[in-house]
Amino acid sequence: MVNKPTIILLFSVILLAFNAGYSQNLPGTKLHIKKAKGTITLDAVLDEPDWQTADVADNWYTNYPVDTLRAPFQTEARFTFDDEFFYASFVCYDDETPDIVNSLRRDFNYDLNDNVGLVIGPYNDKLNGFFFVITPAGVQLEGTVTGGGTNGDSFSAFWDNKWYSKVIRHSDKWIAEIAIPFKSFRYKSGIREWNIAIDRWELKRNRKSSWIRTPIQFISASFPYGGQLVWDDPIPPAKTNISFIPYLTANTSTDREVDPIAQNSSFQAGFDAKIAVTPSLNLDLTVNPDFSQVEVDDQIINLTRFEFQFPERRQFFLENSDLFDQAGFPSARPFFSRRVGLARDSSGLFRQVPILYGARLSGSLNKKWRLNVLNMQTREDASIGLPAQNYTVAAIQRNFWAQSSIALSFVNKQSLGVEPGDSTRFFSDDIFREVQVGNRTELRPNTYNRVVSLDLEMLSKDSKWYHSAFIGKSFDDFNERQNYSGLLFGRYATRTFSAFAGFNFINEFFNAEAGFVPSIRVYPGQYSFFANMAYQIFPKTESIIRMGPFVDVSQTYILGWTNTDQSYSLGYQFEFNNASSLEMSFNHVYQRLTNSFNLLDPDQFTGFQEGEEYDWNAFSIEYNSNPRKKFFYRLSSSYGGFYNGENFNLGGELSYRYQPYGNVALRFDFNDLRLPENYGQEQLFLIGPRIDLTFTDKIFLTTYVQYNNVLNNVNLNARFQWRYQPASDLFIVYTENYLPEDFGSKNRALVLKLTYWLNL
């Protein structure tokens, strides 16, 4: 018979073992990395002694759909390095369930592919870093991380660089081995610890797991829920790091919308360069840049009074761009990089404005300080009313506490060689404006516009509390007062409850011409209050992961505290175990118009007039199907009032994948707008079929057609890409715009572009 002390001792040992196992891999857990003593062969066969003796990041936990269990299929990660490369290996235990690999295209859609990856923070500031992700088919994805990776906007996949990998699939696991050149990212040589987060997404099982246990409401690849990579041996000192990326383009174009028909052919050359000023500070240079290979924007039907913000896709602007992009708040960004080198033409489509040169110094000065300074010069383009312009943007950030920062920004836009008599040639509203001088009105040129701003962000150690504040002031030739903008914002989030609220204002004469302030021409100064609350329920059912209600409120006032806008939404969300989701909401809208506008043809229909008041109710629903199926669809619809009439909207996307070689998708947006007879009744629709073929992991063809009856235009864009060496490409791009009635050609262009990435 076992005596009582023995039972107590046995129970204590079991309890301690359980607690030790359960408490492993908490935030801040350390993983050691040692320098390789031998050669690492990139073959996904981890038989080198250095892999056998490396620390193992194991005992992974699920983050989604539950966050309380060890991952049923475990993952092991190991790290080592030599003088040239940072190495990582992953052993992803699995069964023979077919992997989901949506395509072989580099920089794949994270959510639509099984994958494993790491996020490294070589500045050890828990805010900034880089991520590298790979699929079971060996397809690569890399990008930058800002703000600690605490929300989806913190991750940008547009950053591109060289790294190498090999994947082998076995019946019970797949193994990935990657080698990242130290030259491919910025780091500080003297730091002995890096922030690191490692996670795995199994789309085929709708499961996320990670090395560090992460609550379901937080992102498993974020630094607050990451660990520490401890360098037992010194990090190799940064060597001369210069990348030279020249390009050649040849293009021919025909424009039938002018008389006589214009035909042009040209040959162009230029280059980009990346120069490591210090191990963590980089100088980017561009001379005569060409962005013809950049994917076209998805067109939209915009039934609001406000400008729509398209994302930046051009490589030159991306690294460390958060210091510019996140300054201000969504309704008042002091700088928006698409203002440089892009402008709308008379068809409402964006066209390139020639850029002469650009320079950008960005990176980390030390653990606490980060910098981004940009200067770009554009050529004159009188055809769209723009003179030669110079843009200078600077931001410096100081990190404090664990995950908080304060940043000072400066934006200067200078129009060169503009005189009052140029108003017929440079007709942009940003260049000339009517200004009241005494009893008369004169057309005054604006030679400069400047914005100075200060941003504060504070995040608690457990990421539950977040606060941000912003204040900005503009300067120009027109206004000397009432030119401020500001924000106060707070958020709180737990496993079941989240809430945020904020207040912002934009003074009447706040003017950020190089920024994004969509309401500047709609409201003569505004004050806005907004709030959101949501509650999450985790039912004990196999079909639903989580669900819950949410409420969203916003109110906007103009000078004199006149209420111009109200929006109230009450909704309910579902996330299903098969990876599909459903959201329903009831929405109430009130608007008191501060400007006159017309949704339809002003020559045929009555428009809405300043001072008129409208309120309406509408019901909306959105459903995303199971993305694990080969046929995937997203549908959204709303029906209800719309100003003095009603509108039925149906939009979404249908997609079919022929894994892993191709995707066929159809994006659509339909509006059945029924207003009183003299206001117009129209059916507005946009259809965008897309064929994306990935013949190999180096050869891609994308063909995109968009028909928009609002613009009365059919656009065709076909892009062939051959990545003949890492980060080096051959592009052939064909684009044409047609009249939808008879498919008569408006204009067309054919571009051939060759780039080569050379490390010096």
Question: What would the pLDDT profile of 652-699 be if each residue is shown by its tens digit?
Answer: 999 999 989 989 999 999 999 999 988 989 999 999 999 999 999 999
pLDDT (0 to 100) of residue 474: 95
The first and second tokens of residue 587, run together, are 């929405």
Cis before 518? omega within 30:
no
Residue 151 lies in a domain: yes
Residue 12 within any structural domain of the chain: no
Q: Are 95 and 186 members of one domain?
A: yes
Range of the domain at 395: 306-521
Claim to verify: residue 377 and residue 433 sit in the same structural domain: yes
Q: Using CA atoms, how far apart are residues 77 and 639, in angstroms rounded to an integer? A: 50
- For 287-342, the three-class secondary structure string (H helix, E strand, C coil) is ECCCCCCCCCCCCCCCCCCCCCCCCCCCHHHCCCCHHHHCCCECCEECCCHHHCCE
pLDDT, one tens digit per residue, over 468-522 is 999 999 998 776 677 999 999 999 999 999 999 999 999 988 999 899 999 887 8
Ramachandran class of 461: left when φ > 0, alpha when ψ lies in -120 to 50, beta otherwise = alpha
The helix or strand, by DSSP H or E, that contains position 4, with its residue range, turns out to be helix 4-22
Inside any domain, residue 236: no
Q: How confident is the model at residue 12 (pLDDT cuts 50, 70, 90)?
A: very low
Check residue 423 and report its DSSP letter.
Answer: G
Q: pLDDT tens-digit profile of 576-613?
A: 999 999 999 999 999 999 989 888 888 788 889 999 99
Give the pLDDT of residue 24: 67
Mark which of 688, 710, 732 sits at the end of a domain: 710
Q: In this structure, how many other beta carbons lie within 10 angstroms of the beta carbon of residue 597?
A: 13
Q: Is the dihedral of CA 209, 165, 291, 294 positive or negative?
A: negative
Number of structural domains found in the chain: 3
β-sheet bridge partners, residue 728: 725
Mean pLDDT on 230-237: 93
My answer on whether 452 and 463 are in the same domain is yes
Q: Are residues 352 and 429 in the same domain?
A: yes
pLDDT of residue 13: 42
Give the 3-state secondary structure of residue 111.
helix
Residue 314, pLDDT score: 84
Say if residue 517 is in the same domain as residue 530.
no
DSSP class per residue in 359-379 = EEEEEESSSSEEEEEEEEEE-
pLDDT (0 to 100) of residue 18: 41
Tokens of 88: 């990582």
CATH number of domain containing 180:
2.60.40.1190
Banded pLDDT at 425 (limits 50, 70, 90): low
Quote the distance between the C-alpha of residue 189 and its chain's center. Answer: 29
- Does residue 2 carry a pLDDT above 70? no
Cis peptide before 660 (omega within 30 of 0): yes
Residue 306: pLDDT band (50, 70, 90) is confident
Query: DSSP label at 113?
Result: B
Which range, 119-123, 443-447, 756-760, has the best average confidence (pLDDT)?
119-123
For residue 272, give the H/E element and its range. strand 262-278
Q: What is the 3-state secondary structure (H, E, C) of 52-99?
A: HHCCCECCCEEEECCCCCECCCCEEEEEEECCCEEEEEEEEECCCCCC
Binning pLDDT at 50, 70 and 90, where does residue 9 land? very low
Do 137 and 78 share a structural domain?
yes
pLDDT for position 3: 54
Mean pLDDT of 753-760: 91
3-state helix, strand, coil split of the chain in percent (to 5) is: 10, 55, 40
516 and 559 inside one domain: no
699: Cβ contacts below 8 Å, ≥ 6 apart: 721, 722, 723
Same domain, 465 and 476: yes
Angle at 208 between CA 203 and CA 211, to 5 degrees: 140
